[in-house]
Amino acid sequence: MGIERVILAAPRGFCAGVDRAIDIVNIALELYGTPVYVRKEIVHNAHVVQELRGRGAVFVDQLDEVPDGARVIFSAHGIGPAVRAQAAAKGLRVIDATCPLVTKVHLEALKFAREGRVILLVGHAGHDEVIGTMGHAQGQMVLVGSVEEAEQVRVPDPERVAVITQTTLSIDDTREIIAVLKRRFPKAVFPPKDDICYATQNRQMAVKEMAGSVDLLLVIGSPNSSNSMRLVEVAQAVGVRAHLIDDVSEIDPRWLEGVRTVGITAGASAPEHLVQETVAFFQPMGVSRVEELDGIREDVVFALPPEIQRDLPAGSKAARSLRVLGRP
């Protein structure tokens, strides 16, 4: 097919919040045995969920499916107070795997709500993170999903507005929406630090960096992964053909016609072994070079939640608690 070179984006794949969430499920299974229930997908990746299900994790959509008194893990995307209250009413033993960067957004929402502001949440309707965030300020939060919605949104008092964002958005699209909101609500207040998480930003920057060097970009991630979908959109916005694949089985040979250089990246919830399987797919086609770009070094590590730390055996080392047990 004429493919000569494969370029790997860096950074790519798991972020600190995803690492932590998967660690939590694996360590809980080791500490407590099965069943351990997980509300929603722990992270938005079909392969990760299937692997954890194979180890004994039981995934449910609603807490009604969890027996009273059982142990349940909340996903990395976060939950609203109503879910937490339901868990308490059922006597569930809760382990919260919410990404700390999502928790930061929740705390911002609570602060702005206490100040009596209407909160404009820039995000995608129906995403688990958005649902959880909106639950922290019901009646005071309005979802804004596009520039058009930013132009049309109405609030009771334009001088009492706050703006927060989902953590996994497109940097460029969000910048356009924020620009409209700043123009329409010049007295709006914002968090002191950008809500779009470091991993989302770094992976989008890496795609832009490699865009001029590839004929085709494959983004490894599941369709319900917001940050993975954004990587496809970022590439397409700069004129690169890009496709989202859950794994190598979804590569369409027609995409490869006329392609000499293939770029590969992975969303923040996609495991590295899927990247390597994709590289292996191309190697028999005459690929003479597999290159990895120099990218931003990510050394962020989040501590395990206190309910896990409390039950770790005496003498456990921090390195063990931060490693995904059983993952190759």
* Distance set, CA 254 to CA 18, 109, 198, 209, 290 (Å): 33, 46, 34, 25, 22
- Please write the tens of the pLDDT for every residue from 211-221: 999 999 999 99
* Distance set, CA 239 to CA 27, 202, 234, 302, 309 (Å): 43, 19, 9, 36, 47
Averaged over 120-128, what is the pLDDT?
97
Q: How far apart are CA 316 and CA 310, in angstroms?
A: 11
Tokens matching residue 284: 């028999």
Q: Report yes or no: 41 and 59 within 8 Å, Cβ to Cβ.
A: yes
The confidence band for 2, taking pLDDT boundaries of 50, 70 and 90, is confident
Question: What pLDDT is attached to residue 142?
Answer: 98
Residue 328 has pLDDT above 60, yes or no: no
Report the range of poorest mean pLDDT among 125-134, 139-148, 192-201, 318-327.
318-327
Kindly write down the DSSP assignment for every residue of 135-184, as one continuous string.
GGGTTTEEEE-SHHHHHH---S-TTSEEEEE-TT--HHHHHHHHHHHHHH
Predicted structure pTM score: 0.93
What crossing angle do the helices spanning 100-114 and 16-32 adopt, rounded to 10°?
110
Listed in sequence order, the residues at least 6 apart from 269 whose beta carbon sits closer than 8 Å to its beta carbon are: 14, 18, 43, 44, 45, 48, 221, 222, 225, 227, 228
Q: How far apart are CA 260 and CA 91, in angstroms?
A: 58
The confidence band for 325, taking pLDDT boundaries of 50, 70 and 90, is very low
Residue 108 has pLDDT above 70, yes or no: yes
- Please write the tens of the pLDDT for every residue from 161-191: 999 999 999 999 999 999 999 999 999 999 9
Tell me the catalytic residues: 129
- Please write the tens of the pLDDT for every residue from 52-94: 999 999 999 999 999 999 999 999 999 999 999 999 999 999 9
Residue 322 has pLDDT above 70, yes or no: no
- Angle ∠(228,231,235) on CA atoms, nearest 5: 155
Domains and CATH numbers, the chain: 5-14+198-292 (3.40.1010.20), 16-99+301-321 (3.40.50.11270), 101-184 (3.40.1010.20)
Question: What pLDDT is attached to residue 231?
Answer: 98
- What DSSP character marks residue 198? H
Listed in sequence order, the residues at least 6 apart from 34 whose beta carbon sits closer than 8 Å to its beta carbon are: 56, 57, 58
Q: How far apart are CA 240 and CA 260, in angstroms?
A: 13
Percent of the chain scoring above 90 in pLDDT: 93
The confidence band for 286, taking pLDDT boundaries of 50, 70 and 90, is confident
Q: Report yes or no: 134 and 121 within 8 Å, Cβ to Cβ.
A: yes
Backbone angles phi, psi at 79, to 5 degrees: -135, 165
Q: Report yes or no: 196 and 167 within 8 Å, Cβ to Cβ.
A: yes
Q: How far apart are CA 74 and CA 97, in angstroms?
A: 5
Question: What pLDDT is attached to residue 327?
Answer: 34
